[in-house]
Amino acid sequence: MSNTIKEVAKLAGVSVSTVSRVINNSGYVGEKTRKKIVDAMDTLSFEPSSIARGLVSGKTSTIGLLLPDVSNPFFAEVARGTEEAAIESGFTVILCNSNWDLERERMYLNVLKGRAVEGVIVIGNRSAERDLIGAVSPLPCVFVDRKVSSDQSYIWIDHEKGASIATEKLLSIGCEHIAHVTGPRKSTSARSRLSGYLKTMKQSGMEPSVVPGNFRFAGGYEAAKALFLKDNPPDGIFAANDMMAIGIIQAANELGVSIPNDVSIVGYDDIDMAKCTSPALTTIRQPANEMGRAAFSLFKNRVSEMKIEFDARLVERKSTK
């Protein structure tokens, strides 16, 4: 049976805080007292766990990383950047996947608090800001891919601007009927991209065509089949992320719709697979790995209320004329 710090302190006749100073080798402890504590640990076969050390010192060198969909390469790459930076700094990472589920988000945040993590990095997510910040508290937190209120730290890209760049690309190559396949409405970044598309279409005097999507391959595939089978199919499609754009390309190839001769496609994220589709995908690049590393840097340096904004940029390949 594992023994606790309290039992060591009782057997050695000292306080718990004196035992913790010996465990963490921090602060003064007289030689005679130290020997009594070490003898008590040997008698009780006490092995201080890293959590035990951390619960006393508040330093577990562990952080939580909460993301909405671990199967999505964008989130996976952000997580990889965070974890690389964490390991380089001697931290370990507890990865939690909420699957866009509010209750699971809260469950994981409570689990992380119980694991005595020193902080949490939250990527994406759907929670209303006040709910999420309440659920995270009192853990130090950095938000990635969402803009939160001014007294929080976050890593952000202007998705409205990124969507405008994508839409303007399709307009610039002469597309006259441009559709947008959205991300899930619960996603703040999806709503920003929809807004950017609508504003750009309005400024160009073009009639928008919006098809609900979900950031997943199947969502893009089904949306494209509906679009391509219409009497007046689009000659340009802006997908709110690359996973849906890949689904759109699959549907086009199955239906014999030529990309880019019949329809040009622009995605968003620039995941590695965007280079491998046939034709290769034109997309808006988010520097996911750098975003993850920047998030850990803000956490590690305990920088509060810091905002780091990255630029979204167009990466042109063969899915556009």
241 binds ligand RIB (CB under 6 A): yes
Which residues face 310 on adjacent strands?
157
- Give all strands of the β-sheet with 141-144 in edge-to-edge order: 92-97, 62-67, 119-123, 141-144, 153-157, 307-310
Q: How many CB atoms lie within 10 A of CB 52?
A: 20
Taking alpha carbons only, the member of 89, 99, 93, 58 closest to residue 79 is: 93
**Which residue of 154, 156, 215, 221 would you call a contact of ligand RIB, by CB under 6 A?**
215
74 binds ligand RIB (CB under 6 A): yes
> Which two three-digit tokens encode residue 166?
């994508």
197 binds ligand RIB (CB under 6 A): no
268 binds ligand RIB (CB under 6 A): yes
189 binds ligand RIB (CB under 6 A): yes
Taking alpha carbons only, the member of 156, 106, 138 closest to residue 307 is: 156
For ligand RIB, the closer CB: 63 or 291 = 291
Sign of torsion over alpha carbons 87, 90, 92, 93: negative
**Which residue of 269, 287, 308, 317 would you call a contact of ligand RIB, by CB under 6 A?**
269
For ligand RIB, the closer CB: 53 or 146 = 146
For ligand RIB, the closer CB: 157 or 251 = 157
Cβ 320 to ligand RIB, closest distance in Å? 19
Cβ 198 to ligand RIB, closest distance in Å? 18
156 binds ligand RIB (CB under 6 A): no
Helix axes 31-44, 16-23, angle to 10 degrees: 90
Cβ 53 to ligand RIB, closest distance in Å? 36
**Which residues neighbour 83 within 8 Å (Cβ) at sequence distance 6 or greater?**
65, 93, 95, 292
DSSP run (H or E) holding 300: helix 288-300
Q: Are the C-beta atoms of 191 and 185 separated by less than 8 Å?
A: yes
154 binds ligand RIB (CB under 6 A): no
CA–CA separation, 75 and 269 (whole Å): 10
| Degrees, nearest 5: CA angle 142-150-286 | 50
Cβ 268 to ligand RIB, closest distance in Å? 5
For ligand RIB, the closer CB: 64 or 287 = 287
**Which residues neighbour 262 within 8 Å (Cβ) at sequence distance 6 or greater?**
233, 235, 252
For ligand RIB, the closer CB: 5 or 163 = 163
Cβ 262 to ligand RIB, closest distance in Å? 25
For ligand RIB, the closer CB: 147 or 300 = 147
| R_g of the chain, CA atoms, integer Å | 25
Between the alpha carbon of residue 33 and those of residues 5, 10, 38, the distances in Å are: 15, 13, 9
For ligand RIB, the closer CB: 74 or 154 = 74
Which parts of 92-151 interact with ligand RIB (CB under 6 A)? 124, 145
Amino acid letter, residue 235: D
283 binds ligand RIB (CB under 6 A): no
Q: Are the C-beta atoms of 64 and 121 separated by less than 8 Å?
A: yes
**Which residue of 18, 62, 97, 187 would you call a contact of ligand RIB, by CB under 6 A?**
187
72 binds ligand RIB (CB under 6 A): yes
Cβ 242 to ligand RIB, closest distance in Å? 7
Cβ 232 to ligand RIB, closest distance in Å? 28
Binding footprint of ligand RIB on the chain (CB under 6 A): 72, 74, 124, 145, 187, 189, 215, 241, 243, 268-269
